[in-house]
Amino acid sequence: MKKILFLISLLSLLFCISCRNESSTLGEEWVDSDLKNVMTDTCTVRLSTVFLDSINTSNKNVAQLGYYSDDTWGKISASAYIEYSPATFTPNEKYTYRFDSLTISMKCNGDYLGDTLSQVKVHLHELTENLVLDTYTKYLYSNSSFSYNPEPFSTIKIQPTPKAKKTLEYRLSDDLGKTWFNKILSKSDDFKNSDDFRHYFKGIAFVPDEASNKSIMGFGISDSSMYITLYYHEIGQESVKGTVKFVPTTPNFNKVKHDRTGTPLQNFNHKLTEIVSDKMSNMSYVQGLTGLYTKIEFPYLNNLLEAGKMVSIESAKLFLYPVKGSYGLNNPLPSSLALYQSNENNVTEDQIKDLLGSSVQTGSLITDDALHENTYYSFDVTSFLQSNLGKVGYNIKNLQLVLPESKINTSYQSVIFGDMKHPQSNVKLSVLYKVYKTN
């Protein structure tokens, strides 16, 4: 019996030894010192600023109004062009009516650029031509142009309340209000329907006073913002207050004028639309309605393939640092940014989506409110780099960093990034890659 137990134990030992030996040879090409994980943050990241000479701003439900100037962005003038629908009101012939006032009500949407303690002075001009969409694209753009009466019918001074998002009401021309009210009371055809009203009153150009303004403010365009109210009294046995409301309609759009003379951006024009960061003091720019975004390239990504016989990217994270001093109370950082894939001609091809693959990445903004030295946006670019590793020529893809879709053509939010050679705010790419048989 003891001999049998001894033989069983011996066979079991031999079996275990053979399994261990077999496992040491299985996948022999991928074990021990032949396989290494390497972490690097020295991969070259190239930043450029790209300029779009026109942005689709039609029917975005936002009016940006004001004027802003500094040494970085230059002079920016923000106007809005809005059409209105006629009010529905049928006067009672048994009563008489008295005009009281005409006002415009506007609600801040929280978006601003510049000194919000100063008033925004805006002139209201009557349009002399209807707003007509582009025949081919069916859009209106930031550089679209329509004529208006050079003499404003009203001027308002807006006291900004961006954080409170209050509805502000300002009195307009009594002469215009009385003219409208008399036409309504006389049942003029000018107020019969939308087409007739558009023929009579083509809309309003809201134009900033460039001499006095120090900021640009955003306002909603809806039936609860940028609407016009005509106040009146109905006089019978008793005097009763009443209102007639004119609400914004489509089309409407934002117009942008900018003068970059004397700024780092002054060389941009319709021919020169891309400038690499090392020609702009090692910085790249993003701003919505002025048409600026940052292009991101990884020109030497394929150098990783020289590290060994086989190389695979396991993870990659991109860190972009806003330049210290370029943002603050008057120019707050965007809470999020959007990342897209583009080809060699800067044509957008795809979104860079989040880990769930359900929506475009908007960046994780980390703020250093104490020293402002470690404020950054981060993006997971693992899948993007994995798909680009080994690509050459026109197959190489780039990244576009822009404001989110909800802001890119409705806001002047902006951010400036430092490149790898910037003295303080250096872009960084952290890559973890696996190498088999290092060279």
pLDDT in tens, 196-221: 999 999 999 999 999 999 999 999 99
Question: For the chain, where do the domains classified as CATH 2.60.120 start and end?
Answer: 33-52+269-438
pLDDT the model gives residue 270? 83
Burial class (CB in 10 A: 0-12, 13-18, 19+), 191: buried
- Residue 72's region, left for phi above 0, alpha for psi from -120 to 50, else beta, is alpha
Question: Is the confidence at residue 346, as pLDDT, over 70?
Answer: yes
Model confidence at 83, pLDDT cuts 50, 70, 90, reads very high
Q: Tally the C-alpha atoms within 13 A of residue 326's C-alpha that lie toward its C-beta.
A: 23
Omega before 251 cis (within 30°)?
yes
Fold of 33-52+269-438: Jelly Rolls (2.60.120)
Predicted pLDDT of residue 221: 98
Q: Is-contact 280 72, C-beta < 8 A?
A: no
pLDDT band at 371 (very low <50, low <70, confident <90, very high): confident
- Per residue in 358-369, pLDDT (tens digit) is 788 889 899 988
Q: Could you tell me the sign of the dihedral formed by the alpha carbons of 268, 411, 164, 172, in that order?
A: positive
User: What is the reported pLDDT for 17?
Assistant: 29
Report the predicted TM-score, pTM, of the whole model to 2 decimal places.
0.88
Q: Would the pLDDT of 411 be above 80?
A: yes
Distance, CA of 221 to CA of 412 (rounded, Å): 17
Compute the distance between CA of residue 399 and CA of residue 341 in angstroms, rounded to an integer: 5
The mean pLDDT value of the chain amounts to 90
DSSP code of residue 212: T
Q: Which of 9-18, 42-51, 59-68, 277-286 has the lowest mean pLDDT?
A: 9-18
Calpha distance 2→193 (Å, rounded): 110
The residue-averaged pLDDT of 254-270 equals 94
> Is a pLDDT exceeding 60 seen at residue 20?
no
The arithmetic mean of pLDDT across residues 7-32, rounded, is: 37
Average pLDDT (273-296) is 97
pLDDT, residue 438, reads: 67
pLDDT at residue 236 is higher than 90 = no
- Tokens 């209105």, residue located: 84
Across 5-19, 235-249, 310-324, least confident range: 5-19
